[in-house]
Amino acid sequence: MKRIFLFVLAICGVYSAQAIKIIHGPYLQAVGETEATIVWITDVEAMSWVELAPADGTHFYQNEHPRFYETYLGKRVIGRLHKVKITGLEPGKKYRYAVASKEVIATKHHHIHFGNVAATNVFRKGANYISTLNPSKDSFGFTVLNDIHSKQERLEALLNCYEKGRTDMVFYNGDMVTVVPDEKTLFEGFVDASVRRFAKDVPFYLVRGNHETRGLFATSYLNYFPTLTNKPYFTLKHGDVFFIVLDGGEDKPDNHLEYYETACYDEYRKQEAEWLKKVVESEECKSAKYRIVLMHMPPIGGKHMWHGPKHAGECFFPILNEANIAVMLSAHTHRYSYHAPLDGTDAKFPILVNSNKCALKAYVNGEGIKIEVIDEAGAVQHTHSFK
């Protein structure tokens, strides 16, 4: 009977003699005040879910917990990429979670044959955690890295400034890879290292750089890095800070030969500016004590500025200049620079540009925002304070 069963599976689909594996992740994305998304990859197609439990000190399997599935048009999704969005969470609350994927070993018409399950090893390693954003939090820390371009040793060195228990989030401020030809490049470039270091329990928010727009796989960006707006630009409110994450697009004119007639970033930035107008007028933005903007390309450089950052400044500065911005954090140039308000720029707020060889270690409390610029050896190169 076993041989007959295997033969039936073989003609229906694909039979796997090996156990299913989770090969990347899980990692936290799009964590907000009342929602979060968990992303992971399996080596074969599967139907997946997340089990959620309160962080109340009880054993994870003391009680049965609700399961959350990725669904589309009323059906649970089957695939290798799994991204499960959990809603209805409470602001400033900590939860435990475990992921599971049930292998699909054969399909024919509407019949599906399931195989083994790969899941979080709660017994040996414990569950993972989600902490929702908390607009009432008194103080917190965050870290910013950028322009890694898949350099693993540099990424590992700079992530040493990440402080477990004190860092609530990490921002990757663009160009974490040089081009996006496939899924493998993203994970080998920076995601796998992030998972090992922190991303199972602390979210990273990816600010799209101009290099993340390049490559045939770049259009799959939001599948791997979902956001709260379903766009590469979005906002977050945590503690006293309202974060505005902007997408500057590409750096050259849309008709540049490098883009093979596919670029339309001028119109994209104009549409983003219309969204930004509504953002700065929102009560959530106005009521925050501090407003921080992150954008990969800094609109600096005067007559030497390239088209992309110049146009981004033309689109965004008139709006941001009326929004009482504490600081804009940028990258792209691979060099550190600091620009006071209206000092060689059209911005009425300071712009801090981080190099590709340093990380920004930020701490926020009621007295202000302190940012240290830290090199690969862990030495503080510069210190800034903003209010």
Q: Would you call 272 exposed, middle or buried from its count of C-beta atoms within 10 A (0-12, 13-18, 19+)?
A: buried
d(CA 164, CA 190) in angstroms, rounded, equals 19
Residue 335 has pLDDT above 80, yes or no: yes
Report which secondary-structure segment, H or E, holds 43.
strand 36-54
Chain segment 101-144, per-residue pLDDT in tens: 999 999 998 899 999 999 998 877 789 999 999 999 999 999 99
The domains of the chain, with CATH numbers, are 2-131 (2.60.40.10), 140-386 (3.60.21.10)
d(CA 337, CA 339) in angstroms, rounded, equals 7
Residue 190 has pLDDT above 70, yes or no: yes
C-alpha distance across the termini of the chain, in Å: 73
Mean pLDDT value of segment 374-379: 98
Instruction: Find residue 78's DSSP bridge partners.
Output: 47
Residue 316 has pLDDT above 50, yes or no: yes
d(CA 289, CA 66) in angstroms, rounded, equals 37
- Residues 333-354 as b or e (16 or more Cβ within 10 Å = b): beebeebeeeeebebebbbbbb
pLDDT (0 to 100) of residue 126: 84
CB 99 within 8 A of CB 58: no
pLDDT (0 to 100) of residue 303: 86
Report angle CA 262, 222, 318 to the nearest 5 degrees: 70
Each as own residue / partner, the long-range contacts of residues 375-384 (CB below 8 Å, 24 or more positions apart, any chain) are 376/154, 376/157, 376/158, 377/157, 378/160, 378/161, 381/336, 382/336, 382/338, 384/327, 384/338, 384/350, 384/352
Tell me the pLDDT band of 273, cut-offs 50, 70 and 90: very high
Chain segment 13-59, per-residue pLDDT in tens: 444 557 999 999 999 999 999 999 999 999 999 999 999 999 999 98
